[in-house]
């Protein structure tokens, strides 16, 4: 077996606002015995606000520093300035165009001049985008299209690698393992290499956005009725939060027998607790992301199904056939109250009977 050579590199963001000239931070890195640097846009090489002539001189300074110290820039990475914007996910095409053509492509040009790779993160979806399937899907497809164009541009410039950082919240994809796999499939479909760079600190936020269990829903309803405070769990869309409040205000009894949200009255399609329970435990998936088919119905009217990491339960409500309209997206992505799974991954929601189912890691550690 042949193993790749692995080199230790230092991101020079440690030197931001202190040692900003290439000769300065290269000397510090060399003193550590390290020969590879990742150039952070935060340390005075961001093409969005730095002068073009200055950047040309900066490249020359990097080459001279490399000759003097043996420290080479092997990768570029975006900084906090562009991370703080919607960027490629902005609702206005003009802003998306500016980020892609006047920033990312210019950063690729810098990387190409030094034979380095390029990594970045500069997109997010705002709250309005997360509220419906249609708006989310359109924004997601637009993002994938632009990432394919960026991969093609990087390949044309001869970059050894181009990649995207993984995140940890639903409005910043990819934030789960399933979402990361989907993004890579979509971008690689353009025929050009594209990678993910893993930030190990970003593998701890997913637990805050997991699908609530039946027990958690029951407990939060009781707490809401007692205190009037919004539940400390992620429900996805604003409509799901509204349904939760309607459920709590409806005066129905929260059952103890199965851990599900129950009523003294039979389930009906127009009852908020029925729609709410079905939304969380019988979600709809898109055809291209089809999840596992449910197993036979068990006792208590629950469908049992296995989806990669564990068993999920879905209460069967035959009278409800339109729960899908409250779902923001399928389980791997944002705005969807049925996102579920292990930390760093997502499990596809189990489908209720009778419903149509739809359903390389980069080098950087900062």
**Same domain as 244, residue 147:** no
- For residue 345, tell me if it sits in a domain: no
pLDDT in tens, the chain (366 residues): 788 889 999 999 999 999 999 999 999 999 999 999 999 999 999 998 899 999 999 999 999 999 999 999 999 999 988 899 999 999 999 999 999 999 999 999 999 999 999 999 999 999 999 999 999 999 999 999 999 999 999 999 999 999 999 999 999 999 999 999 999 999 999 999 999 998 888 888 888 888 888 788 878 888 888 887 876 788 888 888 888 888 777 655 444 333 344 444 444 445 555 555 555 544 333 333 333 333 322 222 222 222 222 222 222 222 222 233 333 333 333 333 333 222 233 322 222 223 333 333 333 333
- For residue 343, tell me if it sits in a domain: no
- Report the predicted TM-score, pTM, of the whole model to 2 decimal places: 0.71
DSSP annotation of 201: G
**Same domain as 214, residue 184:** no
**Same domain as 125, residue 184:** yes
pLDDT at 56: 97
Query: Collapsing DSSP states into helix, strand and coil, what is residue 297?
Result: strand
- For residue 107, tell me if it sits in a domain: yes
Q: Residue 109: CB partners within 8 Å, gap ≥ 6? A: 47, 157
**Same domain as 214, residue 201:** no
**Same domain as 256, residue 175:** no
Q: 110-114 — which CB contacts under 8 Å span 24+ positions?
A: 110/45, 110/47, 110/55, 110/59, 110/76, 111/75, 111/76, 111/157, 111/159, 112/157, 112/158, 112/159, 113/59, 114/59, 114/62, 114/63, 114/72, 114/73
Per the structure, the count of domains in the chain is 2
Residues 356 and 360: their CA atoms lie apart, in Å, by 34
- For residue 361, tell me if it sits in a domain: no
**Same domain as 185, residue 256:** no
pLDDT at 321: 26
Q: Among 161, 176, 205, where does a domain finish?
A: 205
Residue 314 parent element (H or E) = strand 311-315
DSSP annotation of 46: -
118: β partners: 76, 162
- For residue 290, tell me if it sits in a domain: yes
Query: Collapsing DSSP states into helix, strand and coil, what is residue 182?
Result: helix
**Same domain as 188, residue 216:** no
pLDDT at 277: 55
Q: Indicate the angle between helix axes 238-249 and 272-281, nearest 10 degrees.
A: 130
- The secondary structure of the chain in percent helix, strand, coil, rounded to multiples of 5, reads 40, 10, 50
- For residue 344, tell me if it sits in a domain: no
- For residue 350, tell me if it sits in a domain: no
Residues 202 and 160: their CA atoms lie apart, in Å, by 25
Q: Among 168, 185, 205, where does a domain finish?
A: 205
N-term to C-term CA, the chain: 29
Pairing of strands 36-40, 311-315: unpaired
Residue 37 parent element (H or E) = strand 36-40
**Same domain as 240, residue 313:** yes
Q: Among 156, 180, 205, where does a domain finish?
A: 205
**Same domain as 166, residue 35:** yes
**Same domain as 75, residue 22:** yes
Residue 152 sits in a domain whose CATH number is: 3.20.20.150
**Same domain as 14, residue 63:** yes
Q: 295-303 — which CB contacts under 8 Å span 24+ positions?
A: 297/353, 300/257, 300/258, 302/258, 302/260, 303/350, 303/351, 303/352, 303/353
Nearest CA to 107 out of 57, 61, 173, 153 is that of 153
- Expressed as residue numbers, the domain containing 257 is 210-326
- For residue 342, tell me if it sits in a domain: no
**Same domain as 171, residue 36:** yes
């Amino acid at each position: 077996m042949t193993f790749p050579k692995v080199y230790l590199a230092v991101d020079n963001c440690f030197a931001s606002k202190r040692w900003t000239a290439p000769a300065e931070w290269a000397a510090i890195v060399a003193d550590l015995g390290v020969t590879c640097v990742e150039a952070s846009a935060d340390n005075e090489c961001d093409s969005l606000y730095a002068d073009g002539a200055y950047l040309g001189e900066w490249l020359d300074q990097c080459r001279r520093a490399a000759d003097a110290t043996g420290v080479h820039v092997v990768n570029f990475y975006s900084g906090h300035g562009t991370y703080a914007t919607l960027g490629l996910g902005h609702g206005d095409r003009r802003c998306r165009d500016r980020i892609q053509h006047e920033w990312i492509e210019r950063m690729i040009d810098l990387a190409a001049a030094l034979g380095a790779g390029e990594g970045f993160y500069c997109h997010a979806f705002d709250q309005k985008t997360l509220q419906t399937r249609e708006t989310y899907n359109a924004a997601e497809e637009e993002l994938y299209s632009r990432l394919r164009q960026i991969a093609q541009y990087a390949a044309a410039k001869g970059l050894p690698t181009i990649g995207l950082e993984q995140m940890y919240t639903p409005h910043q994809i990819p934030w789960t393992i399933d979402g990361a796999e989907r993004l890579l499939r979509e971008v690689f479909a353009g025929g050009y290499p594209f990678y993910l760079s893993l930030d190990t600190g970003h593998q701890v936020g997913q637990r805050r956005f997991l699908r609530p269990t039946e027990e958690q829903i029951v407990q939060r309803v009781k707490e809401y009725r007692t205190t009037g405070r919004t539940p400390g769990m992620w429900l996805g869309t604003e409509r799901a939060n509204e349904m939760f409040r309607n459920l709590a205000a409806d005066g129905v009894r929260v059952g103890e027998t199965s851990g599900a949200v129950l009523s003294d009255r039979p389930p009906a399609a127009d009852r908020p607790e029925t729609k709410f329970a079905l939304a969380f435990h019988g979600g709809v998936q898109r055809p291209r992301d089809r999840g596992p088919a449910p197993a036979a119905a068990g006792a208590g009217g629950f469908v049992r199904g296995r989806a990669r990491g564990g068993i999920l339960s879905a209460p069967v409500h035959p009278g409800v056939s339109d729960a899908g309209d409250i779902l923001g997206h399928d389980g791997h992505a944002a705005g969807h109250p049925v996102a579920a799974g292990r930390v760093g991954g997502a499990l596809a929601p189990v489908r209720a009977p009778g419903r149509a189912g739809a359903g390389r890691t980069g080098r950087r550690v900062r």
